[in-house]
Structure 1
């Protein structure tokens, strides 16, 4: 590593947010170097549920999580779990999360998310076209499933909110439900089909393909762990785990669940928490799933990929240091077998990833308090893949000092 070479723009994090930021900045002719401890699209961005969830505009606190919290917490393998020893550390975040669900904050968060999703959809369309990845897009829609009339009725306010923003859907049952997903368990009495919902062939393959495009435009990668950052008159100093230092004129912090640790060096205390998500990827022929199936009452999805059938989701609020609890992925797979009779559970690959989540379900996208040459871009929660192209566009606009296409105030790193 050349300690004397100054970097124009350093990006910390080789996940999908950092990849898209690199692509947009490289397209603009800027010198970009991405640093990651593992590689490009090798950690959390590699194993997500593969959805472009542009219609998923409801804040998590408004999606029934508060109401269901006591019931879910009673089940250690249910949709949401919190290790008892972690609860004291988590409590301030949970209080913020509860406050974010109050009606006086709901409309502002919803409007901000709708704006972000509109930008995300248009920017992904453009980026896929420019990068030659359009063939990796799947437009089969999604099917959300309900086991009772009561569960269906509980979902209706959320669908009404989406309808206000012209998000298309239709409720289905009987033969239409069976046609959308043959072989489904009869325990599901209703469903909601969202025809414009999109998925990708495989999130890891897409991330690596976007990175290949960024490289063609001049972006570079260095495998390294950055322990801390500091700013000064000349820009930003990067301190590496091996003791080396490098200078950069601009810095983008896009390190997912670890980002707030670097932001803290710069005076920005951002209440990021880690949603640990689990999945199992089965062979492609495990079951003929026609489109992404959403089992919202159980907190997981099943997604058909080019590389297999992915069964995953759920939330474990347990930080970044605890070892994985793969009993959770096994529990999801057992449920999937009940919901899709005939599903073959053999030959699966288990996985855990870290979703970087903020209590109001909005990411932080904006300049650091200590130095405007540092940009925070993290905290996308379940929506990192969905919102990554929009975030890349917004980072480019901030670096080039151009007017962004949406209001960035709701995403300010200083809003907390």
Structure 2
């Protein structure tokens, strides 16, 4: 595909009631992974996207295959930290006052999902999905011809005070119980051996050797799309408005009032997915966690691997030869204007922890992560119509979990195999 195709996909031809075998709605990493796997399994697939491919979080994320992130965000630990974070308008967590009433139902469900029994079940499900993704990503990369885009090197979680470190150790032991390998490190010298140039005041770290990153998440999405097209898949620009069941399939009404008839539909539209599901009467508590970053040009810092700062909610990642500084969570809905002061605040913190970081010449970005209150995605057929398959709500782990989601979707489309019940849409309906 040319760069111009990436900026604006060719529109779907208007008129008539057109029929397709398998329709994928959403051109982010999850939709592209599903489309490629389905096309490779012998399905005839059309993928539609209302804007451009990888337009949202799939374009600007931190590029991590975070197989160690088995602990759900919905947990007592996050609840304990949230009040302190919310007091800082530019801190790791922000809730815009005008959006608070709309968030209350989601926050109530998040609180309920943070009870110990629910957290244990969510952790088990998350670990299962991440393990499957770790097993599936090599095959997906081979399909896309993108094996060279994978970067080994692990991740260094850094704690700038002893209190943060002590509070984090219990979580690391929980990860170990689910097979996550890690090394606890104390002292600035052994930490500097893994990443020179850090502020020597950082005395505590955890190294996860099996954490991986990709060269550039946008480049990876392009590779998936090119492989999909090479196998006969089709891409088009179209806006999905509503779904209507018919005897012959699912009828999709598009934004221009034209119609598409599909034998099966995969809904992978990220933070917009719940709007289309609602046309079938299925309402999901899907919210958007807005994240910010700044991508600095090559030469900004000699970064050996991804660095995480859990106490401050951001990461520093090598991306396409440069450095990306980003993360944090802002609840403000899909339409509010970006507040790039949040990106500036993270960049200033990164400079404090990496004194040699050159912060000039960066490009700022904001994107929306689709998140459900129990920190697990919805993966499975719709209770309203079994020809519709939901695959959305991956939160911070869309890139990481895309390969497993694609495998589960393909198994459903080809053998009617159902995903694990932990991800079933019915848990919200």
TM-score range, shorter chain: over 0.9
In structure 2, how many angstroms separate the alpha carbons of the residues matched to 1:378 and 1:299?
23
Match of 1:226 among 240, 247, 250: 240
1:330-369 to structure 2, matched below 5 A, reads 330-369=344-383
Q: Tell me the distance in 1 between the aligned counterparts of 2:76 and 2:132.
A: 22
User: How far is 1:63 from its partner?
Assistant: 7.2
Instruction: Name stretches of at least 5 consecutive residues in structure 1 with no aligned partner.
Output: none
**CA RMSD of superposed structures (Å):** 1.2
Match of 1:152 in 2: 165
SS at match of 1:268: coil
Identify if the C-alpha distance between structure 1 residues 381 and 75 changes in structure 2 by more than 3 Å, giving closer, same or farther: same
Q: Would the aligned equivalents of 1:361 and 1:380 in 2 still touch at CA under 8 Å? A: yes
For residue 150 of structure 2, the aligned residue among 119, 137, 140 is: 137
How far does the alpha carbon of each residue in 1:302-337 deviate from its partner, in whole angstroms, 9 at most, with x for none?
Answer: 001124210000000111011111111111111111
Contact 2:76 2:115 in 1 (8 A): no
TM-score by length of 1: 0.97
Partner of 2:40: 27
* Alpha-carbon distance in structure 2 between the residues aligned to 1:285 and 1:95: 45
Structure 2 contact 50–238 (Cα < 8 Å) conserved: yes
Residue aligned with 1:274, SS: strand
Q: 1:314 to 1:243 in 2, by over 3 A?
A: same
**CA distance in structure 2 between the aligned counterparts of 1:52 and 1:193, rounded to whole angstroms:** 15
Q: 1:126 aligns with which of 125, 139, 160?
A: 139
CA contact (8 A) 1:42 1:204 kept: no
Name the counterpart of 2:71.
Answer: 58
How do 1:31-46 residues align onto structure 2 when only pairs under 5 Å count?
Answer: 31-46=44-59
Query: Which of 316, 320, 323 is the matching residue for 2:337?
Result: 323
SS of equivalent residue, structure 1 residue 113:
helix
Counterpart of 2:180 in structure 1 is 167
Contact 2:152–2:211 at 8 Å: present in 1 too?
yes
For 1:146 and 1:95, locate their aligned partners in 2 and report how far apart those are by CA, in whole Å. Answer: 30
Equivalent positions of 1:69-84 (< 5 A) are 69-84=82-97
Residue 149 of structure 1 and its aligned partner are, at CA, apart by: 1.3
Deviates more, 1:126-135 or 1:327-336: 126-135
Question: What is the distance in 2 between the residues matched to 1:187 and 1:235?
Answer: 62
The 5 Å alignment of 1:230-269 reads: 230-269=244-283
Runs of 4+ in 1 over 6 A off after TM superposition: none
- 1:244 Cα shift? 1.4
C-alpha distance in 1, partners of 2:113/2:149? 35
